[in-house]
Structure 1
Amino acid sequence: MIANVLTIAGTDPTGGAGIQADIKAISALGAYAMSAITAVVAQNTQGVRCFTAMDAGLVADQIDAVFEDVRVDAVKIGMVANGEISRVIAERLTLHGARNIVFDPVMIASSGDSLVDRDALRALRDHLIPLATVITPNLPEAATLLKCSNAWTQERLHAAMEELLLMGSKWVLLKGGHLSESDESTDLLLGPDGEPRRYPAPRIDTPNDHGTGCTLSSAIAALLPYFPVPEAVARAKTYLHGALIASHQLSVGEGRGPVHHFHALWPAPLEKAGE
C-alpha cells in the first residue's frame, strides 16, 4: 500500500525548499504527499524577503481536514513560524494520534535569514520535539536549541546528541554538513538504544544546496512507514546525495540553486535547439 505523508511547513515560490521541496521528495520516493501551510514565504535562491504566518486556526483546520478524511502514515514538520502555530500543530497531531513524525526544526534559512520568532523557539522545544519520532537539526539549529556556541568538536557533537535526545524525541539526527573543514558530510543518529550511528558521504562541491534540510527530512518521512529509523535515514541520505550530484542538470535562479529531486526518475536533459 502506498504511504500517505503529510508535510506541515512554509512555502517557497521558487520550489527548492519548504512545502514544494517536501512534496517533490515525498513523491520521488513513492509516497503520496499532502500539505498544510504554516506560512507564505517570499524567497528565492538568493534569500528570504519576508513571510506571513498563517492564522493558527487555519493551520489547525488544514491538519484536521487531512486527518478526518485520509489515513496519514507519516508527518513531516518544517517551518512553524510562531509559537501559537507550534502549539496548535502539537495539539492537533496529538488529538489525531499522528505517528512517524519527522521534525526538521527550521529556524534559519540557507541564506541566514531567521524564519521563527522567539516564542516559536520555546514552543517547539516544549511541544513539538517531544512528539517527534526523529528530529533533524543541522549544527546551527542544534546550537540554537541547546543555547550553546556554534563551535564544534567531535566530542561536542556526541554530547549535543545526548542533550538533544533528552528534549523528548525518540531519535536525533544531527546533520554535519556545516563542518566545512571535512571532506565528508557525516550525519550522526542517536536513538533509544544509545548506539550512535554514522552516515558519511563525500562532500559535493556544488552551490545547489537550497532546501537540502527540507528534502532530507521529507525523504525520511516518506520512508518511515516502510523501514525502521536507521534504515530510513540511510536511504534518505543516499537519495539526497544523488539529488545533489545531479543538481547541475537544473538551471534555477542566480543564487544557491535547488537539488534535483527527480534525478532518478527524469530522463537525461535534452539540449535546447541552437545550443
Structure 2
Amino acid sequence: MIARVLTVAGSAAQGSAGIQADLKTFQERDVYGMAAITAIVANNPVTSEGMFTNSLEAIEAQFYTAVKNVGVDGVKTGMLFTKEIISLVVRLLEKNAPASLVVDPVMIGKMGSQLLKDDAIEEMRERLFPLATVITPNLHEAERIMESGPITSKEEMKHAAKSLHRFGADYVIIKGGALPEDAVDILYDGNGFMEWEQPRIDTIHTSGAGCSFSAAIAAELAKGAAVEQAVNTAKAYVTAAIEHALDFGKGIGSTYHAAYRKHRAR
C-alpha cells in the first residue's frame, strides 16, 4: 500500500508554499497526501486582508477524516498560527500518534507576514516539539524559539541545535539558507551532527522551499526511510526545486516542485 501523509498547515493561495507545496511534494515523492487546513493566507491585493483562520471544529473534522477514513503513516505540521490551534493539534496527535511527525515551526512568510502569534511560541516549544521525530527551523525561527541573538555561523548553528534538542524532539535540523556563505543544513540527534552544504544558488525565487523540504522529509519517513536518509533525499529534492525556480514576474517566485523528477534521476 502507498504510504499516507497528512499535512496540518495553512493554505497559500499563490500555490508556492503551505498546503499547496506540501501536496505537490507528496505527489512528487510518491506518497498519498492529505490536508487539514488551519488557515488561509491570501494577501488580497485589493482589500489588504491576508489571514483567515479556520475554526477548531473544522481543523479537528479534517484531521479525523484523514485518520479514520484513510489512515496516516506520517504527519507534518506547518503554519499553526495560534496557541489554541497548537493545543488542539497536540491533543489530536496524542490521541492518534503517527509513526513519524515532522514539525516545521513556520513563523514568518517570505513576504514578511507573521504566521505564528507571539504567544503561541511557548506552546509549540513545550508541547508540540516533544512529540516530534524531526523539527526543521530555519535560522530566524531558531533565534525566536530560543529568544537568542543572531545565528551567523556553523558553530552557532550547532549550539542552537543542541539547545533546541532539549525540548524533546528526536532530531533537530537547522536550515542555514540565510547564512552569508554557502547554504548549510545541520542535523543533530542528541549525540552527533551531520552536515549538508551546497553552493548558494543565485535566485530570490525560493517561496515554499522550507515547506517543501519538511514535506519531503515527512514523505520519506512515511515510506520507512531513516531520518538521515530522509533528510538527504529532501535536500536533493529542494535544491533542484530552487535551481529551477519559477519567476512569475512579481515578487518572490516559487520553487519548482517537479524539478527533481524532470532534471535529476531518482
TM-score, L = length of structure 2? 0.93
Q: Any conservation in 2 of the 1:12–1:43 contact (CA below 8 Å)?
A: no
Are residues 1:191 and 2:186 paired?
no
Match of 1:218 in 2: 215
Contact 1:13 1:44 in 2 (8 A): no
Distance 1:217 1:151 in 2: 21
How many residue pairs end up in the alignment? 260
**Cα root mean square deviation, aligned:** 1.7
Tell me the secondary structure at the aligned position of residue 254 of structure 2.
coil
Q: How does 1:119-130 map to 2 (within 5 A)?
A: 119-130=119-130
Matched, 1:95 2:95: yes
Task: State the alpha-carbon separation in 2 of the partners of residues 209 and 49 from structure 1.
Answer: 23
How far does residue 265 in structure 1 lie from its aligned partner after superposition?
A: 4.1
Determine the C-alpha separation between the residues in 1 that align with 2:194 and 2:151.
Answer: 22
Deviations 1:132-173 (A, max 9, x none): 100000000000000011242333221111100001100000
Q: What are structure 2's unaligned runs of at least 5 residues?
A: none
SS at match of 1:58: helix
User: How high is the sequence identity, in percent, across the aligned residues?
Assistant: 37
Cα pair distance change 1:44/1:214, threshold 3 Å = farther
1:252 to partner: Cα distance: 2.7
Q: Which amino acid is the alignment partner of residue 224 of structure 1?
A: L
Alignment of 1:147-162 (within 5 A): 147-162=147-162
TM-superposed CA distance for 1:253, in Å, is: 4.7
Confirm or deny: 8 A CA contact 1:186 1:201 kept in the other structure. yes
- 8 Å contact 2:75–2:218 — kept in the other structure? yes
- SS across alignment from 2:213: helix
Cα distance in 1 between the residues matched to 2:226 and 2:236: 16
Name segments (4+ residues, structure 1) moved above 3 Å: 264-267
Contact preservation (8 Å) 2:44, 2:50:
no
**Whole-angstrom distance in 1 between the partners of 2:193 and 2:68:** 38
Aligned to 2:105: 105
Residue pair 1:14, 1:43 contacting (<8 A) in 2 also: no
Residue deviations 1:168-206, cap 9 Å, x none? Answer: 100000000000x20x211000014x1100011121101
Please give the residue correspondences for 1:1-275 in structure 2 after superposition, counting only pairs within 5 Å: 1-43=1-43, 49-179=49-179, 181-182=180-181, 184-192=182-190, 194-225=191-222, 226-247=224-245, 250-265=246-261
Measured in 2, the distance between the counterparts of 1:113 and 1:251 equals 20
For normalisation by structure 1, the TM-score amounts to 0.90
Distance in 2 of aligned mates of 1:169 and 1:262: 30
Q: Specify every segment of 5 or more residues in structure 1 that has no aligned partner in the other structure, as ranges.
A: 268-275
3-state secondary structure, aligned to 2:195: strand
